[in-house]
Amino acid sequence: MIICPNCGNQEMPGALFCKECGTQFTIIGRDPTLTIPSDLADHLHEELSEDNENIVPPTPDDASLSLFIIETGQVIPLEGLTEYTLGRSAEDQPILPDIDLAPYHAYEYGVSRLHASIKISQPNALLIDFGSANGTQLNGQKLAPNKPYPITHGDIFSLGKMQIQLLVNR
């Protein structure tokens, strides 16, 4: 079964376009973004609310902003830019994301190659989804693509199924 990354409609293997919304399925290059069934992604925030109390954010380094990968416990500092694109690198990809999540099993989590961005602004940082295949959720709410959402310290967002917490060191 192929699931349309645009509208979630199911098509038979071998289909070249979605009969629901017209999206073409042609794969140019390898490793298309793994499509996660939408119901799974929708349940994410429920799982989150249970786990929430157990998460103890570690003390960030000197960087003012950093990302905490919840599943693996790693911290990625955000330094030197005012806007950071998030995604995963793949072969033959012309534009690489500033923050490459490929080492953190981004492919398995359904992160798109250019999934979202975090823009540093006052008073809040802004999170923007780039119309990714599996979408972006902020504290359990799905984001509309290409619209900025304010995000602050402690907020948890997920790219596909990958959960990340934003840490701000003021």
Q: Which of residues 27-66 bind other proteins (CB under 8 A)?
A: 27-28, 30
Quote the tokens at residue 64: 């003012």
Give a three-class secondary structure readout of 31-68. CCCCCCCHHHHHHHHHHHHHHHHHCCCCCCCCCCEEEE
Minimal distance, residue 5 CB to other proteins, in Å: 14
Which of 2, 55 has the CB closer to other proteins? 2
Question: Out of 12, 62, 80, 92, which residue is the one contacting other proteins (CB under 8 A)?
Answer: 12
Ranges within 65-84 binding other proteins (CB under 8 A): none
Of 3, 5, 8, 20, the residue at the interface with other proteins (CB under 8 A) is 20
Nearer to other proteins, 27 or 95 (CB): 27
Segments of the chain assigned E as strands: 2-3, 10-11, 65-69, 74-78, 83-87, 99-100, 116-119, 125-129, 136-138, 141-142, 148-151, 156-159, 162-168
Q: Which is closer to other proteins, CB of 46 or CB of 91?
A: 91
Separation between Cα atoms, residue 18 and residue 114, nearest integer Å: 22
91 binds other proteins (CB under 8 A): no
Q: Say how many residues touch other proteins, by CB under 8 A.
A: 18
